[in-house]
Structure 1
Amino acid sequence: MRIFHRSPERDQQSAGRDAEYSFFSVDEGAQFRAHVRAAFAERGLEVTVHSGTVSDNTGRQFGLRNLAAICHQEPRGRKRWPHLIRGHVGRLLRVVDGPSPLEFLEPDQLLALLRPWVVARDFIEPNADRYVHARVVAPGLCEVLALDLRESVMTLPDTSLAPLGDIVELRARALDNLRELPMESHTILHGPQQMHFDVVTGDSFFTSSRVLATNELARDLTGRPLGPDGALVAMPNRHQLALRPIDSERDTTLMPTLYGMTVFAAANYEDAVGPVSPDVYWWRDGTLTRLVRQEGVEPEFKDDIEFEMLQMRLADNDADQR
């Protein structure tokens, strides 16, 4: 987990960067794609390797972004890449070539695996007409219903959801299932000016989607429900969720914490497996308001009158109690 420092490059910084994945050097990118081609060939499938995808002769395409991030983050370096890539390709082909869970699981079994999945809007944009049920949860983010298959996630288009029941009831069931997921790794990060926030990390594809149950998660982490002013949250990738409950009476570290979470979100988004969002949000009563947008070189702190009023109120409370 990173907050103030990025992982070192595997090649020297001066090496030319790969056009598709800047965390790779040109040489690393070429070696990575060669291993990918070899792994598919070992499975009897000849593929054409493009910069960010591979395609077979039937027209199927498989993205490489998450696999590239896994290899980049491997602490033992390139010697482990063939093993990682073979395992990933094997799991991928088992999923796409095997029978669909919709074909062999009973409706009750499918409902037990149903989860709401928070993803970047771009994830479903090419097929948005198939996911009319998708719900916008924040700028750039949406919630889509999916099956938790442990090794993978299967998003469910509207045609697959229809036989299972009413969409409102399905969403409620999915959210209940999300709340029942076991607690994963939890740590509290501290930094300058007494900033601090909680981070939940796990192998689940739905760790960051716990933001949909922020109040319950806060209670599990701190033993207390959230106050009326909610919490700051960040979901840099699908395996991490940062959360900072706001003390409505006296919170003197709110702004340092917002800056710290901004650094954390950027550092854990750029080359992450399953990136979700580099931004920081304010959660209140189930609504997410974006406070920090990270799209350029420097983060953009969005003007929000209600958040500004919160800061003034907290400052007044602190002055009164001194």
Structure 2
Amino acid sequence: MNNDQDKALPALTVNQARMLRVLVKSSLTRAGHEVTVHADHVTDANDNEYGLEPLSRRLVGQPTANWPGVVDQHLQGLVAAMNGADPFAVPTEELLSRTYLRLYDADGLPDVDWLSYAREPVPGVLELLALDQPDTVSTFNDDRVRQHGLEVLREAGLRNLRREVVEDRAEKNGVQLLMGSVYLASTALILDEVVQRTTGETELPNGVLVAMPFRNQLLYHVPRDQGMVEALEAMTGLAIAGHSEEVGPISPHVYWWNKGEFQQVTYHDEQDRTIEVRVVDGFADVFSRLYPD
């Protein structure tokens, strides 16, 4: 990608994307809607997401003088969707193929009382249910979960994560870097299956080191030998960079996964910018096996 292209909206340059976000905020404010404009989407008061990527593609090749009109027209359609039929008010069976389990940074979510069903499978990371739509991702709230059934929705969410495809893969210092859709990082919830599909390991006696810096990326390393430390160092830097620079940040930390459980390994001190690796509990046992005295 050209360095001048915007990371969140790659169809546009950085300056064009900045102009688009200003126009979006202005248009919706004039229409009396309370929204927050993010790098590649808009969120409303109900925490629904409306993607800006389709709009960015519509603007390519358009004279900038025409942009306000194009933006207004597109947003009128989005607002109509906001005020239109409730996408959750359909039979449960119609939702299941579009329902995903999705991981979110716990500190990045609003402090509300209608997401009480959320669970914390990874320290500092919450699991919610998301409904995938053509131009938006909507989050199930407590009422919608009760309406359709938590277990039914979770089963569908896991099933759809299993259909996720890795669009790009690279390796650095023993770390697998996987890229894909906005749900790819959430495949950490089925990490053993991801590892088996990607590098073929079916037996994981030392667990897996894993990071999910932002929504489109999953990093992992299967500890086998003393290359683990080099991989951990590489993964730590990659996780911090991805979390701070990319759209949809989830966590800057590295975790040790073992049989579905996650233990946090890296800790950051924001004040003095130091990084601590804690070799304790189950991860300490792995370290002792691979680095005997």
Q: TM-score, normalised by structure 1?
A: 0.70
Decide which of 36, 41, 48 is 2:21's aligned counterpart: 36
Match of 1:185, as an amino acid? E
- Structure 1 distance, partners of 2:267, 2:71, is 37
- Verify the 8 A CA contact 1:37 1:46 in the aligned structure 2: no
Determine the structure 1 residue equivalent to 2:8: none
**Structure 2 residues without counterparts, runs of 5 or longer:** 6-13, 43-51
Q: Would you say 1:199 and 2:181 are equivalent positions?
A: no
- Structure 2 distance, partners of 1:107, 1:295, is 45
In structure 2, relative to structure 1, the CA distance for the partners of 1:198 and 1:34 (3 Å cut) is: closer
Q: Would you say 1:285 and 2:285 are equivalent positions?
A: no
Match of 1:302, as an amino acid? R
Report SS of the residue matched to 1:100.
coil
- Structure 1 distance, partners of 2:169, 2:102, is 23
- Verify the 8 A CA contact 1:237 1:269 in the aligned structure 2: yes
Report SS of the residue matched to 1:299.
strand
Aligned residues: 261
In structure 2, relative to structure 1, the CA distance for the partners of 1:92 and 1:33 (3 Å cut) is: farther
In structure 2, relative to structure 1, the CA distance for the partners of 1:67 and 1:124 (3 Å cut) is: closer
Decide which of 167, 187, 192 is 1:185's aligned counterpart: 167
Determine the structure 1 residue equivalent to 2:105: 120
In structure 2, relative to structure 1, the CA distance for the partners of 1:198 and 1:32 (3 Å cut) is: closer
In structure 2, relative to structure 1, the CA distance for the partners of 1:36 and 1:63 (3 Å cut) is: closer
Match of 1:206, as an amino acid? Y
Displacement of 1:9 in angstroms is 9.7
- Structure 2 distance, partners of 1:152, 1:178, is 18
- Structure 2 distance, partners of 1:240, 1:271, is 12
- Structure 1 distance, partners of 2:269, 2:40, is 20
In structure 2, relative to structure 1, the CA distance for the partners of 1:286 and 1:125 (3 Å cut) is: farther
Match of 1:57, as an amino acid? G
Q: TM-score, normalised by structure 2?
A: 0.76
- Structure 1 distance, partners of 2:280, 2:250, is 23
Q: State the identity as a percent.
A: 26
Determine the structure 2 residue equivalent to 1:241: 218
Kindly report structure 1 stretches of 4+ aligned residues shifted beyond 4 Å.
7-10, 31-35, 65-68, 89-95
- Verify the 8 A CA contact 1:153 1:205 in the aligned structure 2: no
Matching of residues 268-307 of structure 1 within 5 Å: 268-296=242-270, 297-307=273-283
Task: Provide Cα deviations, 1:25-79, integer angstroms capped at 9, x if missing partner.
Answer: xxx89x97654333455xx5444xxxxxxxx634x222324469x99xx9xxxx9
- Verify the 8 A CA contact 1:266 1:294 in the aligned structure 2: no
**Structure 1 residues without counterparts, runs of 5 or longer:** 2-6, 11-27, 48-55
Report SS of the residue matched to 1:132.
coil
Q: Would you say 1:110 and 2:95 are equivalent positions?
A: yes
- Structure 1 distance, partners of 2:202, 2:168, is 17
- Structure 1 distance, partners of 2:230, 2:275, is 15
- Verify the 8 A CA contact 1:237 1:275 in the aligned structure 2: yes
- Structure 1 distance, partners of 2:134, 2:202, is 29
Determine the structure 2 residue equivalent to 1:164: 148
Matching of residues 197-236 of structure 1 within 5 Å: 197-202=175-180, 204-236=181-213
- Structure 2 distance, partners of 1:37, 1:232, is 40
Match of 2:237, as an amino acid? V
Report SS of the residue matched to 1:184.
coil
In structure 2, relative to structure 1, the CA distance for the partners of 1:186 and 1:32 (3 Å cut) is: closer
Report SS of the residue matched to 1:265.
helix
